[in-house]
Amino acid sequence: MQLGRQATLTGLLKGGSSSGAGSSAGNGSGSGSGDGGGVPFVKKWPKFTKEDFEEANTLLATAIYCCNLPMTIIEHPDFLKFIYGVAPWMQGKLIGRKALATTMLDKVYGMTRKEVQQFLDKQEFVATSTDAWSSEHNAGAHVLNVNAMANGTSVFLDMVFTGADSHTGNYIATQAQLMLYKNDPDKIGANATAVAATLTGGGLTVNRATTGRGHHLVMVLEEKQEAEVQHMSVNELQELLANPLLCEEVQFVDVREQHEFSIARLPHFKLLPLSTSSEWAPTIQQTLDPAAETVVLCHHGVRSMNAAMFLVSQGFTNVKNVTGGIAAYSMVDRSVPEY
């Protein structure tokens, strides 16, 4: 839709013309009225479809979101004067504040996420960057951003807001890890972060983790953390699952996605997708027993390792990550489907 090109102005002259080309004020004759005066330009706009107005409102809403403008601007008199001055045909068709904050927001978010996913699907590897910032006085919302970069293009992946009471290095680093690993970790070739560089004091240390392709990511963990993630082989897991009495004393956690869980699953495992960690992480100490043995599983052992480290940071003292994930387990138990 090209509104600027479609809109036209037609000037109708009234009287005083030797040629009489203009029409009089409604008499239908070809001659002027002879009063020597003129009428202002008459604006004529083509008829726009419902889809045209929807597209215009979508573009306007996207600009408001991307420029971080308050949604109340849609009701500001000066803003309306500007909009109607540029596009007078939008009078009576302009999006309202309620729709701007609900249905349109969902629509634009969905469109943006789809575009980002299409971009990531085309890349063999991406580099990511994480950065955290808060207000001048270190109060209110704390924001952690994760971006992906490839071939000179940068796209936004995820963010998390926390309160001032969560402004700690360990919490920020854990959230960064959760966001990184839920965004296709097998494609991450490197991660640049200001978090590890600026939060190494106060009992914190910088460690490195390995992704599925062997690349290293910088993370921050508590230096004096007593417990560590233990490794469990698929053979050990198979033996454990074969003993119902022992299974009653163990917590089994699968951090894959629902569609993966539907394809292949193991008995006793509770599904807690890493992509929804913002929902279950805050209450994980109530959902699971920090003192009980906890076995964590994913597809290849990468996401589960990250989840296991998170559990340790939350006070879980006996956490085991299944090496190789369910993909490796399917090699010792052929009844488990591969995907």
The catalytic site residues sit at 298
Closest CA to 194 of 146, 158, 242, 159: 146
Strands lying side by side in the sheet with 293-297: 230-232, 319-322, 293-297, 250-254, 269-271
Residue partners of 195: CB distance under 8 A and separation at least 6: 130, 131, 132, 144, 169, 172, 173, 176, 220
For residue 60, give both structure tokens: 């306007």
The gap from C-alpha 79 to its chain's centroid, in whole angstroms, comes to 29
Contact 143, 179 (CB under 8 A): no
For residue 234, give both structure tokens: 């698929």
CB atoms within 10 A of CB 190: 15
Contact 126, 148 (CB under 8 A): yes
